[in-house]
Amino acid sequence: MSGPGEGREPLIARDATYHRAPDALRARVRASLAEATRAERRPAAWRIFGTALACAAVAAITWTVAITTLAYERDILTFIRHISLRNALHRLVRLVQQQKKGADPIVRQKLAALWIGEQALQLNGYRSLTNILRGGAPGPEGSTSKLFWSQIDQELAHVATEVIGPYAQIAHGSSWAPDGGQWEFYELLARASGIRAGTSEILRNILAERVLGLPKD
DSSP for 59-101 reads HHHHHHHHHHHHHHHHHHHHHHHHHHHHHHHHHHHHHHHHTT-
- State CA 154 to chain mean position distance: 17
In a domain? residue 165: yes
- State CA 150 to chain mean position distance: 11
**142 neighbors 127 (Cβ within 8 angstroms):** no
- Between these two residues, 59 and 5, which has the higher pLDDT value? 59
Percent of the chain topping pLDDT 70 = 65
Same domain, 190 and 140: yes
Same domain, 143 and 42: no
Same domain, 134 and 92: yes
Instruction: Give me the mean pLDDT over the 111-133 stretch.
Output: 87
Q: The CATH number of the domain where 88 resides is what?
A: 1.20.140.10
Same domain, 143 and 79: yes
Same domain, 131 and 187: yes
Percent of the chain topping pLDDT 90 = 16
pLDDT at 49 > cutoff 80: no
Q: What is the pLDDT of residues 135-159, one digit of tens each?
A: 877 766 677 888 888 999 999 999 9
pLDDT at 122 > cutoff 80: yes
Same domain, 171 and 115: yes
Same domain, 112 and 149: yes
> What is the pLDDT confidence band of residue 42, given thresholds at 50, 70 and 90?
low
Best-predicted range by mean pLDDT among 39-48, 106-115, 131-140?
106-115
Same domain, 83 and 188: yes
pTM over 0.75: no
Domain membership of residue 121 as a residue range? 70-211
Same domain, 55 and 29: yes
Instruction: Give me the mean pLDDT over the 106-126 stretch.
Output: 90
> What is the pLDDT confidence band of residue 29, given thresholds at 50, 70 and 90?
low
Same domain, 37 and 120: no
**Calpha distance 76→59 (Å, rounded):** 26
Residue finishing a domain among 60, 85, 100: 60
Same domain, 74 and 56: no
> Distance of CA 31 to CAs 4, 24, 166, Å?
16, 11, 66
In a domain? residue 199: yes
Same domain, 41 and 91: no
Q: What is the pLDDT of residues 187-208, one digit of tens each?
A: 888 888 888 777 888 888 888 8
Judge whether 6 counts as a catalytic residue.
Answer: no
Q: How many domains does the chain have?
A: 2
Please identify which of the residues 35, 73, 141, 155 carries the catalytic annotation. Answer: 73
Residue finishing a domain among 41, 60, 79: 60
